[in-house]
Each structure stands twice: as C-alpha cells, then as structure tokens.
Amino acid sequence: MRTPFVVGNWKLHKHVADALALVTELKNQLAAVKGVAVGVAPPFTALYPVAKRLEDSPIAVASQDCYWEEKGAFTGEVAPGMLKDVGCTWAIIGHSERRQFFGETDDTVAKKARAALAAGLGAIVCVGETLAQRDAGTTTAVVETHLGALRGLGVEVADRLVIAYEPVWAIGTGRTATPGQAQEVHAFIRGWLGKELGPAMAAAVRIQYGGSVKPDNAAELMRQPDIDGALVGGASLQAADFVAICKAARPS
Ligand code: PEP
C-alpha cells in the first residue's frame, strides 16, 4: 500500500513571518489526521525557520529546486547537502515553471534528481505536457521523455522517489484534468515504471497529480487507483484549503 503524499508548493510566496503562521496552523489542524503524508515547499528563505517550527511534527519540508553539485563556484545555487542541513527531506525537481522560465531541461532534471537522491533527500520529479502537446496527441510521448530522467534508478530509492504528473495547462489556470484524464496518464507512468525500472518500483513509487487541485475536486482525483496524492500550488497558501485537500487524499 502506498501512503498518499500531499505537498504544498508555495512558489514565490510568503516571507518568514507568514510562512511560520501558515505552518503553525497546518501543524495544529493536521495533528490528528492519519493516513496521509504531508509536506510543504516554502521558498529557500523560509526553509530553515519552517523546518525548525515543524521539528516535532510529521509534516515534511521540501525545497522547490536544488543544484546537482555539492559545492564550488556556482553563484546563486543551493546544494542538496545544504538543504538537508536546514531540515529539508525532499526537493521538488523539474517543475514546469522552471522549464518555462529558467531553462530547465531533461538533462538538468536528471542531474538534479540523482544528486538529491544521492544526498539522501527525496525527489519529487515533475512531468507533464503543455496544451499544444496534448492537442497534438503527444501527451504520453512527452511524459515518457520527461521520465527518462529516472532511468537506472533502483528499488533502494523507491520510497524517496515521487513523480508529480502536472499537465502544464492545468497549473494555476483553474482548469483541472478530469479524474479520467489524470488516471490515464498516471496508469501510463506506472506502466513505464514497471517496464523500465521493474515491478517493485511500479508498485512502490508514488505518483502525485498536480494542476489546480482544490478542496472541491480533490476527493474524486484522489480516488483514482494510480493517483497517490497531490502537488498543490495556489490552494496550499491557505490552511483551510490545504487541510481539506490533505483530508480528501486519505484512503477511504
Ligand atoms: C504547482 O505549481 O505545482 C501547481 C499544481 O499549481 P496549482 O495548484 O496552483 O495549479
């Protein structure tokens, strides 16, 4: 059984005081909620204080990116070991906004995912097609190319590897994939895992859905057999919405 995993990607939001206020609410409201793993991904500047505030809580802390080198002349970059040092246990890798605005490629996603895993972090690797690619009928081909970043990974990382299927056309648009559309791609991803990385990986690796997940659509998405939680952007910035999504992800 895969424990569903819901992660809030805060993107470029929340100064330290606001970040602490939000995680304090989450900590309190989620304390009695069982059956779902929860994480938050604040901006780099709030990672350390948020991780400190969550020290006595099962809520995990994730970064929104990481570099693949541990040290050196790489101005502006943050190493996986540095993220662990401030209390992160996960890193989001290859978010479509990083591909779109910051030149992330399949090659850099592969390097970052491997570096994060080698350092002992969990990696949430994002995959997903644009609207033009979906309309052209190339969704699975695009997703398969993105999944190439994971080739060669072994079962020892199964519980620290998460794939987030995020159709780009559904991110921040209010337009969600239907549960059927999402399940179809999730099943494709699980099939790919079985074929390329083996049945143990296919059974264990969690596949999150991301793209305008809200309290009113979460339950139906989370009921799909190959959807193991959510990567949540906008709705993770308000405690009430995020808590409702976490509750909806619990197995029924
Ligand atoms: C995201 O940024 O990963 C995301 C899914 O955003 P939103 O929930 O706002 O669509």
- The whole model's pTM is what? 0.98
pLDDT, the chain, mean:
97
pLDDT tens digit string along 40-64?
999 999 999 999 999 999 999 999 9
pLDDT number for residue 252: 81
| Residue range of the domain that includes 56 | 5-248
241 C-alpha to ligand 1 centroid (Å): 13
What CATH number is given to the structural domain containing 205?
3.20.20.70
Atom 6 of ligand 1, residue of closest alpha carbon: 233
Tokens of 64: 């929104």
Active-site position among 95, 97, 129, 146: 95
Average pLDDT over residues 171-191: 95
CB atoms within 10 A of CB 214: 16
210 C-alpha to ligand 1 centroid (Å): 6
Residue 167 near ligand 1, beta carbon < 6 Å: no
- Provide the domain count of the chain: 1
Residue 213 near ligand 1, beta carbon < 6 Å: yes
Euclidean distance between CA atoms 203 and 190, whole angstroms: 8
Phi, psi of 100 (to 5 degrees): -70, -45
Residue 129 near ligand 1, beta carbon < 6 Å: no
Atom of ligand 1 nearest to the CA of 164: 3
pLDDT number for residue 164: 98
Atom 3 of ligand 1, residue of closest alpha carbon: 233
> pLDDT tier at 239 (50, 70, 90 boundaries)?
very high
Average pLDDT over residues 187-196: 98
Residue 210 near ligand 1, beta carbon < 6 Å: yes
Residue 95 appears among annotated catalytic residues? yes
Asked if 233 and 210 count as a contact pair (C-beta separation under 8 A), the reply is yes
